[in-house]
Amino acid sequence: MKQTAAELAKALAAGETTSEKITESYLDRIARIDPNFNSFITVCNDQAMQAARESDERRQNGSPRSALDGVPIAQKDLFCTQGIKTSCGSRMLDSFVSPYNATLIDKCNAAGLIMLGKTNMDEFAMGSSNENSYYGHVRNPWDTDRVPGGSSGGSAAAVAARLAPWATGTDTGGSIRQPAAFCGLTGLKPSYGLVSRYGMVAFASSLDQGGPMAQTAEDAALLLNVIAGFDEKDSTSIEHDVPDYTATLNNDLSGLTAGLPEEYFTGDLDPAMAEVIEQSKKVLAEQGVSFKPISLPRAHLAAPAYYVIAPAECSSNLARLDGVRYGYRCDNPKDLLDMYCRSRGEAFGDEVKRRVMVGAYALSAGFYDAYYVKAQQIRRLMKNDFDKAFEQVDFILSPTTPSPAFKLGEKTGDPITMYLNDVFTIAVNLAGLPALSMPAGFVDDLPVGVQLIGQYFDEARLLNVAHRYQQKTEWHRAMPDVCK
């Protein structure tokens, strides 16, 4: 169970094991220990075993769908899966079974990946702690009193506890990178438009992006190879050549320059976190990376702009959940308005309601210019700041989070403090850039991550840097006790 996806693929190719064996052992492990973490909403025992047997047949016939055929995966419950519940962590969709597959799911199937189940998440991907799920909070395998991060906390916990070799997440403001950092994983938020959003239930359409959550950069590259690419069903997906992300993993790093945003390295940064960054810089410097201070002058505006744009889009995206066609409907509605109000009132959790209301307010005729338009202007300026920075550096390095995983319940009473947990990750989504979080050390015995931010479509570079870093470090090999 300690194997990476790459190692499993190798073992399958060599005939050392079968997908059936691998899949069965993961399913057993989920049944045994996931009650400690609550990382799955749905476990697909029968479908997974059936798919594994079919994969083994393909291997035997010499016609595997890809080198990864037969490797299991866990999918965030935000991706629509035909015939299998897609709840988005919400009571609203507790009964929703999609009649179609998300493009990402189709691509995973086409590669022969075996879906073990659908992972727990903050309701409709809104949250930084995975405490906003209708199916209960997820616990961090490194310390079950702590959060795994959100909103892809189920995926992060599942991979950290080795209940799946890897998983998918979605990242609207840091929801892949922050839980990856909290759980000691490598998580990549791809460039906006690289991975199709078709079938990924929308939270904030202009910010959402699906991506891999893995043990290593190599695995992240392998999974990105599967899920990246233009999709005619998603108008915002970009027609762009998708390289083989594993081909450049071992490229030489010498001569690269990394930018250090001065706004992210202020006196406010936890000294322990600062020390982790220093250590990782050293490792990279030894490989020839040089460092240069840069400025992202509007960094402090990222969170305010984000918390206007994301709720605005979510208020509109979630309007279709009205109790009329599918999903939750309240009992015995008096009239239409009552049906809307009670269905939504009873089925949405507090955080979703909070953001829907903030968003409706920000878009309302009287406040549109003051909030939404202004936020979009800030967004453009922030993108310009990044563009300027990338004239001087090849990538940017920063902490992923201000601190390691916090305790369950610690921040739930104060949404603003919770929102500030995303301070290092949000700007990237506003600018549509790719960013990766890799395990870079421990603070208080908890894993923490370092974030690498790249230029548009420069995923290969980020994976290359992370992979070379992981060749020189052991952080990504560290596992919580539950795996020992």
Q: Which residues are catalytic?
A: 76, 151, 175
Binding segment toward other proteins, per CB under 8 A, in 193-201, 221-229, 266-274, 476-484: 193-201
When asked if residue 356 is in the footprint of other proteins (CB under 8 A), the reply is: no
Q: How far is the CB of 235 from other proteins (least distance, A)?
A: 5
Tell whether residue 109 is a contact of other proteins (CB under 8 A).
Answer: no
Residue choice 5, 68, 84, 200 for contact with other proteins (CB under 8 A): 200
Which residues from 30-69 bind other proteins, rule CB under 8 A? Answer: none
Computed from CA positions of residues 317, 182, 36, 407, in that sequence, does the dihedral angle turn out positive or negative? negative
What is the secondary structure of 301-341 as a DSSP string?
GHHHHHHHHHHHHHHHHGGG-SSSSSS---SS-SSHHHHHH
| C-alpha to C-alpha distance for 479 and 481, rounded to whole angstroms | 6
Q: Which is nearer to other proteins, 21 or 374 (CB)?
A: 374
Work out how close the CB of 365 gets to other proteins at its nearest, in angstroms, rounded to a whole number.
5
| Residue type for position 234 | D
Task: Find out whether the peptide bond into 398 is cis, omega within 30 degrees of 0.
Answer: no
Stretch that binds other proteins, among 63-71, 181-189, 197-205, 287-295 (CB under 8 A): 197-205
Instruction: Please tell me whether residue 320 binds other proteins under the rule CB under 8 A.
Output: yes
Nearest residue to 150 (alpha-carbon basis) of 164, 134, 138, 142:
138
- Our finding on whether 365 is near other proteins (CB under 8 A) is yes
Q: Does 233 bind other proteins (CB under 8 A)?
A: yes
Task: Identify the sign of the CA torsion 290, 296, 300, 303.
Answer: negative
Longest Cα separation, the chain? 70
Q: Tokens in use for 326? A: 């599918």
Give the Cα separation of 265 and 260 in Å (integer).
8
CB of 477 to other proteins, least distance (A): 36
**Binding-site size, other proteins (CB under 8 A):** 44
Binders of other proteins among 74-103, rule CB under 8 A? 79-80, 86, 88, 93, 96, 98-100, 102
The nearest distance, CB 222 to other proteins, in angstroms, is 25
- Between 258 and 356, CB nearer to other proteins: 356
Smallest gap from Cβ 360 to other proteins, in A, equals 6
Smallest gap, in angstroms, from Cβ of residue 230 to other proteins? 12
In angstroms, what CA-CA distances link 348 with 201, 207, 343, 356, 411?
Answer: 15, 21, 8, 10, 20
Residue selected from 9, 164, 201, 220 as contacting other proteins according to rule CB under 8 A: 201
> Does the protein bind other proteins through residue 316 (CB under 8 A)?
yes
390 in contact with other proteins (CB under 8 A): no
Under the binding rule (CB under 8 A), the answer on residue 431 touching other proteins is no
Residue 73 bridge partners (DSSP):
115
DSSP-derived secondary structure letter, 298: T
Nearer to other proteins, 363 or 420 (CB): 363
In the complex, the smallest distance separating the C-beta of residue 99 from other proteins, rounded to whole angstroms, is 7
Q: Is 29 in the site for other proteins (CB under 8 A)?
A: no
Render 426-473 in DSSP notation, one character per residue: HHHHHHT--EEEEEEEEETTEEEEEEEE--TT-HHHHHHHHHHHHHH-
Which residue in the set 230, 265, 291, 340 belongs to the binding site for other proteins (CB under 8 A)?
Answer: 340
* Pairing, β 257-261 against β 446-453: unpaired
Instruction: From residue 373, give the alpha-carbon distance in Å to each of 240, 318, 364.
Output: 29, 21, 12
**What is the DSSP secondary-structure string of 166-203?**
-EEEE-SSSTTHHHHHHHT-EEEEPPTTTB--TTB--S
Identity of the residue, 247 or 319, whose beta carbon is nearer to other proteins in the bound complex: 319
326 binds other proteins (CB under 8 A): yes
Minimum distance from residue 132 beta carbon to other proteins (Å):
17
Which tokens sit at 237? Answer: 């997906």
Alpha carbon distance 137, 410 (integer Å): 13
- Asked if 197 touches other proteins (CB under 8 A), the answer is yes
- Which of 202, 220, 405, 430 binds other proteins (CB under 8 A)? It is 202
Is 230 an interacting residue with respect to other proteins (CB under 8 A)? Answer: no
Nearest to 128 by CA among 445, 471, 420: 420
134 lies in the binding site for other proteins (CB under 8 A): no
Q: Which is nearer to other proteins, 291 or 326 (CB)?
A: 326
CA distance linking residue 198 with residue 74, whole number of Å: 18
**For residues 150-176, b (16+ Cβ closer than 10 Å) or e, as one string?**
bbbbbbbbbbbbbbbbbbbbbbbbbbb
* Binding of residue 364 to other proteins (CB under 8 A): yes
The partner residues of 287 in beta bridges, in order of sequence, read none
Say whether residue 334 binds other proteins (CB under 8 A).
Answer: no
The CB-of-66 to other proteins minimum distance in angstroms stands at 24
Which residue from 17, 236, 279, 473 is in contact with other proteins, where contact means CB under 8 A? 236
Binding region for other proteins (CB under 8 A) = 79-80, 86, 88, 93, 96, 98-100, 102, 197-202, 204-206, 232-236, 312-313, 315-316, 318-322, 324-326, 336, 340, 360, 363-365, 368, 372
